[in-house]
């Protein structure tokens, strides 16, 4: 074989080699992370979007321990029932570095939501951050079982909810989800009525709460910068649904878009006489 023929064969081989590599690369997808839309408001909608682009709202959060390049790390994952302890956790970035800069949301830099897997034992806490970036808060979990912990915060103007599990040792006596009812009583004895109409999946629902005591309307005080604070958790996976307070209404009102059909547990907190009240409702979404 002459020199020209050898060179031609070698070139053909290179074409086959690199062509195959290109096909293999396209089959496994890009080796870098695709750019993500930056969430700017409470529902994960991007602000300042490029013209012509449509951003997909992030209807639920709290389904994973990592999101938006951040990871939740608990100092412990077990506890004894009824025993008070200091819960400690950190938020770290992709390189494992502890994050220390958080935005203020609802007057706080960190909201910690705790609920047992059967959607009982709800607590809303505001931990304190130490100089090394570790968040700590006293916590007591009275009943055995598996609890979901949600760290709800904003970093670099991106609202994020990270979640992890904490197990309380002992036999767990799980409770069924209460049936939907229009009224419920808070832990401080206030009667609350929920008016939500017929909530439909994928459609914005208006949630209005009226508070009374002995049949008389009660004037609530501002709590966390609004008339009240509402957390919605979906039965089953405990997806964390972020809701918007209706700031144009003097009553306790919220706007929420339930992403799927099913049962949701609504935890409303409001303040009366300087004391925070908590009341829960079950909302069936069709």
pLDDT in tens, 221-266: 999 989 999 999 999 999 998 788 886 655 699 999 999 999 999 9
Kindly report the average pLDDT of the chain as a whole number.
83
pLDDT digits (tens, 9 = 90+) for 173-213: 999 999 999 999 999 999 999 999 899 999 999 999 999 99
Query: Which residue ranges make up each domain of the chain?
Result: 60-168, 183-285
pLDDT tens track for 122-154: 999 999 999 999 999 999 999 999 999 999 999
What DSSP element (H or E) covers 279? strand 275-285
**Per-residue tokens: 135:** 């968040």
Question: Is 60 exceeded by the pLDDT of residue 109?
Answer: yes
| The pLDDT of residue 242 | 76
| Helix/strand/coil for 229 | strand
Could you check whether 60-168 and 183-285 share the same CATH topology?
A: yes
Q: Does domain 183-285 have CATH number 3.40.50.720?
A: no
% of the chain residues with pLDDT over 90: 73
Question: Of 3.60.15.10, 1.10.8.50, 3.30.460.10, 2.60.40.1930, which CATH number belongs to 60-168?
Answer: 2.60.40.1930
Strand partners, 271: 221, 276
User: Which of 26-35, 92-101, 150-159 has the lowest average pLDDT?
Assistant: 26-35
Q: Quick: pLDDT tens for 79-100.
A: 999 999 999 999 999 999 999 9
For tokens 């951040």, the residue is: 70
Nearest to 73 by CA among 151, 167, 152: 151
- Is the pLDDT assigned to residue 15 strictly greater than 80? no
Q: What is the pLDDT of residue 60?
A: 84
CB-based contacts of 116-120 (< 8 A; 24+ apart in sequence)? 116/141, 116/143, 116/145, 116/146, 116/147, 116/148, 117/145, 117/146, 117/147, 117/148, 117/174, 117/238, 118/145, 118/174, 118/175, 118/176, 118/177, 119/177, 119/233, 119/235, 119/238, 119/265, 119/280, 120/175
């Amino acid at each position: 074989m002459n020199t020209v023929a050898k060179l031609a064969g070698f070139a053909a081989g290179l074409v086959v080699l690199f062509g195959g590599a290109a096909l293999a690369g396209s089959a496994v997808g890009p080796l870098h992370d695709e750019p993500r839309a930056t969430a700017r408001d409470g529902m994960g909608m991007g602000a300042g979007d490029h013209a012509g682009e449509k951003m997909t709202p992030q209807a639920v959060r709290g389904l994973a321990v990592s999101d938006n390049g951040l990871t939740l790390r608990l100092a412990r994952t077990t506890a004894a029932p009824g025993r008070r302890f200091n819960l400690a956790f950190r938020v770290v970035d992709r390189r494992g570095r502890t994050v220390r800069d958080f935005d203020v949301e609802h007057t706080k830099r960190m909201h910690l939501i705790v609920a047992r897997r059967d959607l009982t034992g709800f607590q809303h806490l505001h931990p304190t951050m130490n100089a090394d970036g570790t968040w700590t808060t006293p916590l007591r979990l009275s009943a055995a079982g598996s609890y979901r912990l949600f760290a709800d915060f904003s970093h670099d103007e991106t609202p994020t909810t990270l979640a992890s599990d904490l197990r309380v040792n002992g036999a767990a006596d799980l409770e069924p989800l209460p049936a939907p009812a229009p009224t419920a009583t808070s832990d401080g004895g206030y009667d609350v009525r929920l008016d939500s109409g017929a909530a439909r999946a994928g459609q914005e629902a208006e949630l209005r709460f009226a508070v009374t005591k002995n049949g008389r309307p009660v004037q609530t005080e501002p709590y966390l910068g609004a008339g009240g604070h509402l957390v919605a958790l979906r039965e089953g996976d405990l997806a964390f649904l972020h809701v918007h307070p209706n700031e144009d209404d003097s009553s306790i009102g919220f706007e929420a878009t339930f992403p799927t059909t099913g049962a949701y547990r609504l935890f409303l907190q409001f303040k009366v006489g300087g004391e925070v009240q908590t009341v829960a409702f079950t909302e069936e979404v069709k």
